[in-house]
């Protein structure tokens, strides 16, 4: 009897075999119900076999197979296998968590259309030979005539013609004579597209010429250079070929403009959005339209990378450097990296777009693994990049964090009835030891990470490798005794702004205020309609938005990131500041950016003043090379959480011992408490492993993972994080 091997949502790295009397290989990818312990669980058939290593008498029989939707495509199952192998996460969980919740449930799913749609005559239908329809089939003739007159028909109108009309329409659809379109979209008018400038044209041509093969393209274009326009042109090309495009964006609710741009450019194309804020039924509907190949454009956040796309022709990852592409729990995948694997597997191009690419991607584009496309000027003729200036707050007078020159600039902008934005960097950085006269910072001699100050114990600790040492009494470089922990300090800037500018309309934008349903849309409207004078915002601020009336950006307390213990902090800060700076001066108002800093000569601010990403990238890359950080090494973290820190540390120590002698080409560090050592009542610690070879690291992780699972685990939750982004 055939045996099916099923993926189930259970935290063990194995699939489960069941007897299934009439299963064939066509059932691979089908959902099933199987007995598991005392429960019945829903799973997905991954393989169909003739025999199982399990004793036949011990095998249970499958309860039922669901044929409510087509099976998951084989390529998608391969993608799940890749993720499970690469991220060392149970395959069953990978598969089941990718599905909309309705498909994970125990009931078969009954499809019914939920939003208004209508049928539209296709070119094939318009020119179809009516003599092929038997004369007796009056309903067919009537429906076709009606469609040829009006072009479209709604299901309820069809039903008025005859109760059997839905069946006929279904048949027309199968023949390709009609297609389903949303009612809203078919009314909209298509917006015409601008003529591409030379750089855009070159970039477009390069991708278009190789549109049917795998390549990773890095589209490196400054803010406002017209990257979106290139996406739109390439999508047009794919639509003509009847193929689907997957567009991944960091946070969809923050980019309603992008959805709007896509919808107005392709008014008659079915576009679906897939993100975590949809209701279950909305998500399921979009997912099914993608799976049937009807949705030609799928716009989504990281989870959309697992959408079934039978006619996938291209993947776009916009703002590819954004941290939100990496999932921080469960399957800790990077949607950008998974996209690249998926594109390779399906032999289609993937485009990574950014004004400030991640150093990993940039490095690959400069060494030829990826192909670089550059857009170096703003697409709108009059728009120029804003002038960036540093205010040296060691000499400028400051009041609770606001310097005199910034206050003056804000006053001026207010008087001219334009808008300004005050950007606060509020990420909590661990304190480091800094010499303010020569900028020396305490570094770990073992791994060149910055050491973290632990004031109570008067100790410096490396959160990467575990090394510890005592406070020095003076600066080892210049001898100055005034060395202080740096990187803490909260400011009450928002309140101060309100005091200082009592007549200004101030709007605060942060994660909480944008999370409210429609909160962000309302804020945008207020900004556009000039009901706001000063915007105060944190990291969350406005990605990819045009604020036409914004002429001043003030940047406060970003210095802490310059001396962070996180080796990616400088890269992230630069990306963020470029993005924020890019908000100013989009239309015909020239913009100005003022950065308050104690370190105006720092290479990061120097690059920012000159809008010179490449220069900074070179500096950071050579630092990373010297220090042996990514992209020159590949890393993985073994993470552990427990009510007591000692429990987590002991677990990691045992895991490190298991790694023992088998570490060819892989470096294993000591366990350390995590940067954020306590989270939700649990103590967190981790252990870093790294290697110059991705393959060696993977081989090591595979065998190590299996051995870790044999450890006696009490009260510890652990996971492997491959290519970690947060420490
Ligand atoms: P990016 O995504 O690179 O930040 P956008 O694609 O948003 O830039 O383009 C910025 C602005 O320039 C938009 O208003 C867009 O309509 C406009 N634009 C893009 N390409 C052109 C072009 N070739 N000619 C004129 N305007 C353009
Ligand atoms: Zn010094
Ligand atoms: Zn170290």
- Would you list the DSSP string of 173-198? HHHTSEEEEEHHHHHSPPPP-PPP-H
Does the pLDDT at position 538 exceed 80?
A: no
Please provide the DSSP assignment of 251-316 as one string: -GGG-HHHHHHHHHHSTTS-EEEE-TTS-HHHHHHHHHHHHTT--SEEEESGGGGGS--TTEEEEE
pLDDT score of 681: 72
pLDDT score of 291: 94
* Cα 155 to ligand 2 centroid, rounded to whole Å: 77
CA atoms within 13 A on the CB side of 701: 27
**Which ligand is in closest contact with the Cα of 629?**
3
Does the pLDDT at position 135 exceed 80?
A: yes
**Which ligand is in closest contact with the Cα of 477?**
2
pLDDT score of 107: 77
User: To test the ligand 1 pocket, which listed residue (351, 352, 380, 580) has its Cβ within 8 A of the most ligand atoms?
Assistant: 380
Dihedral (C-alpha) 434, 436, 438, 442: value to the nearest 10 degrees? Answer: -10
pLDDT score of 649: 93
**Which ligand is in closest contact with the Cα of 478?**
2
Choice between 139 and 340, residue whose per-residue pLDDT is larger: 340
pLDDT score of 486: 73
φ, ψ for residue 209, nearest 5 deg: -65, -25
Does the pLDDT at position 187 exceed 60?
A: no
Whether the CB of 318 sits within 6 Å of ligand 1: no
- CB of 351 within 8 A of CB of 317? yes
Residues of the chain with CATH 3.30.70.360: 634-722
Choice between 509 and 420, residue whose per-residue pLDDT is larger: 420
Please provide the DSSP assignment of 483-533 as one string: EEEES-----HHHHHHHH-TTS-EEEE-HHHHHSTTHHHHHHHHHHTT--S
| Distance set, CA 531 to CA 504, 549, 586 (Å) | 10, 11, 19
Choice between 540 and 588, residue whose per-residue pLDDT is larger: 588
pLDDT score of 414: 94
Average pLDDT over residues 431-447: 84
Report the SS3 class of residue 579: helix
Take atom 11 of ligand 1 and give the residue whose Cα is closest.
224
Take atom 6 of ligand 1 and give the residue whose Cα is closest.
226
For the CA of 227, the nearest atom of ligand 1: 3
Whether the CB of 223 sits within 6 Å of ligand 1: yes
pLDDT digits (tens, 9 = 90+) for 672-714: 887 666 666 788 899 999 999 999 999 999 999 999 988 887 7
Q: How many CB atoms neighbour CB 712 within 10 A?
A: 7
**Which ligand is in closest contact with the Cα of 436?**
2
pLDDT score of 679: 64
Average pLDDT over residues 183-204: 75
* Cα 461 to ligand 3 centroid, rounded to whole Å: 8
Take atom 4 of ligand 1 and give the residue whose Cα is closest.
224
Whether the CB of 236 sits within 6 Å of ligand 1: no
pLDDT digits (tens, 9 = 90+) for 278-309: 888 889 999 999 999 999 999 999 999 999 99
Average pLDDT over residues 568-593: 84
Average pLDDT over residues 336-347: 98
CATH architecture group of domain 3-104: 3-Layer(aba) Sandwich (3.40)
* Global confidence as pTM: 0.84
The confidence band for 512, taking pLDDT boundaries of 50, 70 and 90, is low
pLDDT score of 680: 66
Q: Which fold has domain 634-722?
A: Alpha-Beta Plaits (3.30.70)
Q: What percent of the chain has pLDDT over 90?
A: 52
For the CA of 230, the nearest atom of ligand 1: 6
Average pLDDT over residues 355-359: 96
**Which ligand is in closest contact with the Cα of 690?**
3
Take atom 5 of ligand 1 and give the residue whose Cα is closest.
226
Average confidence score pLDDT of the chain: 87
Average pLDDT over residues 524-535: 88
Q: What percent of the chain has pLDDT over 70?
A: 91
- CATH class of the domain at 387-430+487-622: alpha beta
For 49-164, where are the alpha helices, taking DSSP H only?
74-87, 91-98, 101-104, 123-126, 138-150, 155-161
Does the pLDDT at position 184 exceed 60?
A: no
Take atom 9 of ligand 1 and give the residue whose Cα is closest.
226
* Cα 191 to ligand 1 centroid, rounded to whole Å: 14
Residues of the chain with CATH 3.40.1440.60: 3-104
Take atom 27 of ligand 1 and give the residue whose Cα is closest.
379
pLDDT score of 490: 45
**C-alpha span between 509 and 561 (Å, rounded):** 21
Whether the CB of 671 sits within 6 Å of ligand 1: no
For the CA of 195, the nearest atom of ligand 1: 23
Just give the CATH number of 198-375: 3.40.50.300
Choice between 61 and 224, residue whose per-residue pLDDT is larger: 61
* Cα 655 to ligand 2 centroid, rounded to whole Å: 40
The confidence band for 532, taking pLDDT boundaries of 50, 70 and 90, is very high
User: To test the ligand 1 pocket, which listed residue (191, 218, 226) has its Cβ within 8 A of the most ligand atoms?
Assistant: 226
pLDDT digits (tens, 9 = 90+) for 462-478: 877 888 899 888 899 99
Among residues 640, 629, 714, the alpha carbon closest in space to that of 684 is found at: 640
Residues of the chain with CATH 3.40.50.300: 198-375, 387-430+487-622
**Which ligand is in closest contact with the Cα of 627?**
3
* Cα 433 to ligand 3 centroid, rounded to whole Å: 15
The confidence band for 489, taking pLDDT boundaries of 50, 70 and 90, is very low
* Cα 567 to ligand 3 centroid, rounded to whole Å: 12
Take atom 26 of ligand 1 and give the residue whose Cα is closest.
380
The confidence band for 112, taking pLDDT boundaries of 50, 70 and 90, is low
Whether the CB of 229 sits within 6 Å of ligand 1: yes
Take atom 23 of ligand 1 and give the residue whose Cα is closest.
196
Choice between 148 and 366, residue whose per-residue pLDDT is larger: 366
**C-alpha span between 557 and 425 (Å, rounded):** 6
Neighbours of ion ligand 3 (CB under 5 A): 444, 446-447, 449, 462, 464-465, 467
pLDDT score of 519: 74
Here the tokens at position 233 are: 């042109």
Choice between 596 and 181, residue whose per-residue pLDDT is larger: 596
| In the block, residue with structure tokens 């902008």 | 413
- CB of 182 within 8 A of CB of 115? yes
Here the tokens at position 648 are: 């987590």
pLDDT score of 367: 94
pLDDT score of 190: 56
The confidence band for 119, taking pLDDT boundaries of 50, 70 and 90, is confident
When mean pLDDT is compared across 145-159, 386-400, 402-416, 423-437, the lowest value belongs to 423-437
When mean pLDDT is compared across 237-246, 332-341, 502-511, the lowest value belongs to 502-511
Among residues 618, 675, 544, the alpha carbon closest in space to that of 259 is found at: 544
pLDDT digits (tens, 9 = 90+) for 27-37: 999 999 999 99
Here the tokens at position 606 are: 């120097």
For the CA of 582, the nearest atom of ligand 1: 4
Among residues 686, 688, 690, 689, the alpha carbon closest in space to that of 716 is found at: 686
**C-alpha span between 257 and 521 (Å, rounded):** 10
pLDDT score of 561: 85
**C-alpha span between 533 and 526 (Å, rounded):** 10
Choice between 491 and 22, residue whose per-residue pLDDT is larger: 22
Take atom 19 of ligand 1 and give the residue whose Cα is closest.
226
Does the pLDDT at position 186 exceed 50?
A: no
């Amino acid at each position: 009897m055939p045996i099916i091997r099923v993926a189930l949502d259970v935290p063990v790295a194995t699939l489960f075999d069941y007897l299934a009397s009439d299963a064939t290989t066509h059932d691979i990818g089908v959902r099933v119900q199987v007995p598991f312990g005392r429960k019945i669980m829903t799973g997905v058939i991954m393989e169909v076999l003739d025999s199982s290593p399990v004793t036949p008498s011990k095998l249970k029989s499958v309860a039922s197979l669901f044929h409510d939707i087509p099976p998951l495509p084989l390529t998608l199952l391969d993608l799940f296998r890749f993720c499970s192998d690469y991220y060392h996460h149970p395959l069953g969980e990978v598969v089941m968590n990718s599905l909309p919740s309705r498909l994970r449930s125990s009931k078969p799913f009954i499809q019914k259309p939920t939003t208004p749609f209508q049928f539209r005559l296709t070119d094939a239908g318009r020119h179809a030979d009516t003599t092929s329809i038997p004369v007796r089939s009056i309903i067919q003739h009537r429906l076709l005539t009606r469609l040829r007159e009006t072009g479209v028909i709604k299901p309820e109108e069809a039903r008025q013609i005859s109760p059997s009309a839905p069946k006929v329409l279904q048949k027309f659809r199968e023949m390709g004579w009609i297609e389903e379109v949303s009612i809203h979209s078919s009314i909209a008018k298509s917006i015409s597209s601008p003529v591409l400038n030379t750089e855009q044209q070159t970039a477009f041509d390069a991708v278009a010429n190789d549109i049917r093969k795998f390549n990773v393209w890095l589209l490196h274009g400054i803010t406002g250079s017209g990257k979106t326009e290139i996406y739109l042109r390439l999508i047009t090309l794919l639509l003509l070929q009847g193929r689907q495009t997957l567009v991944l964006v960091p946070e969809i609710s923050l980019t309603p403009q992008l959805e709007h741009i896509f919808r107005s450019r392709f008014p008659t194309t079915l576009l679906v959005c897939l993100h975590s804020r949809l209701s279950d039924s909305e998500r399921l509907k979009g997912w099914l339209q993608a799976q049937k190949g009807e949705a030609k454009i799928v716009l989504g956040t990281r989870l959309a990378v697992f959408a079934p796309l039978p006619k996938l022709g291209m993947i776009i990852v916009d703002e590819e450097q954004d941290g939100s592409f990496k999932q921080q729990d469960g399957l800790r995948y990077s949607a950008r990296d998974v996209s690249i694997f998926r594109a390779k597997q399906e032999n289609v191009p993937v485009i990574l777009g950014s004004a400030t690419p991640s150093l990993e991607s940039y490095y690959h584009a400069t060494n030829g693994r990826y192909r670089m496309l550059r857009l170096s000027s703003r697409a709108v003729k009059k728009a120029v990049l804003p002038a960036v200036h540093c205010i040296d707050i060691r000499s400028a007078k400051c009041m609770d964090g606001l310097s005199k020159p910034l206050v003056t600039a804000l006053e001026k902008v207010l008087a001219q009835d334009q808008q300004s934005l005050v950007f606060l960097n509020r990420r909590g950085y661990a304190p480091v030891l800094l010499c303010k006269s020569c900028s020396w910072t305490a570094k770990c001699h073992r791994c060149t990470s910055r050491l973290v100050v632990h004031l109570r114990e008067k100790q410096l600790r490396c959160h990467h490798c575990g090394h510890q040492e005592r406070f020095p009494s003076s600066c080892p470089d210049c001898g100055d005794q005034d060395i202080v922990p740096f990187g803490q300090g909260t400011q009450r800037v928002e309140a101060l702004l309100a005091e200082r500018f009592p007549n200004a309309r101030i709007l605060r934008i942060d994660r909480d205020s944008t999370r409210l349903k429609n909160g962000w849309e309302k804020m945008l409207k207020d900004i556009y309609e000039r009901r706001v004078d000063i915007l105060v915002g944190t990291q969350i601020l406005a990605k990819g938005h045009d604020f036409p009336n914004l002429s001043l950006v003030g940047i406060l307390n970003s210095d802490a990131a310059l001396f962070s213990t996180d080796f990616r902090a400088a890269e992230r800060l630069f990306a963020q500041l470029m993005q924020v700076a890019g908000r100013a001066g989009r239309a015909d108002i020239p913009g100005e950016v003022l950065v308050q800093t104690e370190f105006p000569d720092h290479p990061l601010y120097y690059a920012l003043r000159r809008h010179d990403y490449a220069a900074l990238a070179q500096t950071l890359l050579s630092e990373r090379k010297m220090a042996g950080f990514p992209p020159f090494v590949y890393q993985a973290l073994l993470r552990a959480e427990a009510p007591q820190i000692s429990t987590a540390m002991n677990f990691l120590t045992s895991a490190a011992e298991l790694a023992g002698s088998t570490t060819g080409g892989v470096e294993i560090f000591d366990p350390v408490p995590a940067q954020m050592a306590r989270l939700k009542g649990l103590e967190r610690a981790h252990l870093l492993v790294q290697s110059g070879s991705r393959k060696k690291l993977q081989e090591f992780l595979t065998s190590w993972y299996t051995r870790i699972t044999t450890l006696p685990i009490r009260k510890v939750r652990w996971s492997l994080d491959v290519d970690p982004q947060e420490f």
